[in-house]
Amino acid sequence: MNKKSSNGVKHFYQHTEFSLIVIIVILFLASVFGTKNFFSEYNLMNLLKQCSIIGVLAIAETFIIITSGIDISIGAITGLSCMAIALLQSKAGMNIAASVVLAIVIGAICGFYNAIIIYEFRVTPMIATLGSQTIIRGAVKIISEAKTVSGLNKSFTVLGTSSVWKLPSLALIWIVVAIIAIFVLRYTVFGRNLYVMGSGVEVARLSGIKVRKMFYMVYSLCGMLCGIAGVMLAARINSAVPTGGEGYEMDAIAAAVIGGASLSGGRGAVTGTILGTILMVLITNAGTQFGLNTFVLEITSGVLITLAVVVDQIKSRK
């Protein structure tokens, strides 16, 4: 549930965020005391790294879901900018700064393209991004000749392994993105307008919101965040694979929904999405530490997603 929409009316313990924190703490403690390796520095660092890329994408998806849209091309865009930065560095010999900027810009362009199809041609976001996802996937395979590309700049890939104040650099990027996103949604006119658009495009238009500009901005922003995620992915795996980022869109949507974003629009918050991301990753990580069957873990994640939506439905029916 959107925290802001009910602040002061509901108590904190009635929020989605509160229930998520409780579940996360219980799961965390159980893993700490129940398994040998969970509470090791290596595993915790790994957990955070796992969270970071999905975390950034989930924030991107939250912006889109708030406007009552959905973007299923985010995984593909991530894969594209991951491949782009690898090729730019290894084949074109471009320097780090320029290649990073270019990879992010490529992501933003993809988002801009989605906005054209969705706004100008009135295609529903689901279908528009399904189309662009397939196009981008094909493009990645062509530019990479369907091969893994390695040979990234060493001083760049350090980003994937280094830490700052005991935090993985990747997690730091996630945190910075999250803080900015929270700020944008809470304190800026742009953020407010996203929620209004999600409640109804006509409402937004008649309230003097430039709906067209908003569509372009939010989808480009989403693409840009995917570009950042692509850069992070390249640094983390030290190369780019043609299938990079596949399936990430589903994890991102799941994290946003578990965090309380509503697919019917107008609801969602970055804090919830962050907790949703942590919970998703924690289940897989802790489950592996407990030695549970991976397929069982898949089912658990699925049940969790369903549960989140069911709870949301029951709440909104009241």
Position 202 contacts other proteins (CB under 8 A): yes
Position 265 contacts other proteins (CB under 8 A): yes
Q: How many residues sit in the footprint of other proteins (CB under 8 A)?
A: 32
How far from chain centre, in Å, is Cα 4? 21
Position 14 contacts other proteins (CB under 8 A): no
Nearer to other proteins, 145 or 202 (CB): 202
Which residue in 162, 207, 306, 313 binds other proteins (CB under 8 A)? 207
Q: What is the CA angle 275-59-26, rounded to 5?
A: 10
Distance CA 35, CA 290 (A): 6
Q: Which listed range, 78-86, 218-226, 260-268, 271-279, lies at the site for other proteins (CB under 8 A)?
A: 260-268
Nearer to other proteins, 4 or 141 (CB): 4
Under DSSP, the state recorded for 149 is B
3-state secondary structure of 167: strand
Position 271 contacts other proteins (CB under 8 A): no
| Cβ contacts of 295-303, under 8 Å, gap ≥ 24 | 301/254
Non-local (6+) Cβ contacts of 220 within 8 A are 108, 111, 112, 115
Token reading at 40: 């090791």
Q: What is the length of the chain? A: 318
Nearer to other proteins, 196 or 278 (CB): 196
Distance CA 25, CA 19 (A): 10
Least Cβ distance, residue 318 to other proteins (angstroms): 9
Q: Which listed range, 43-51, 119-127, 152-160, 181-189, lies at the site for other proteins (CB under 8 A)?
A: 181-189
Count Cβ atoms below 10 Å from residue 123 Cβ, excluding itself: 16
- Please say whether the beta carbons of 280 and 258 come within 8 A: yes
Position 209 contacts other proteins (CB under 8 A): yes
Q: Which listed range, 88-96, 104-112, 143-151, 195-203, lies at the site for other proteins (CB under 8 A)?
A: 195-203
Least Cβ distance, residue 304 to other proteins (angstroms): 23
- Please say whether the beta carbons of 175 and 51 come within 8 A: no
Which residue in 148, 190, 292, 297 binds other proteins (CB under 8 A)? 190
Position 84 contacts other proteins (CB under 8 A): no
Binding residues (CB under 8 A) for other proteins: these are 2, 4-9, 187-190, 192-193, 195-196, 198-200, 202-210, 262, 264-267
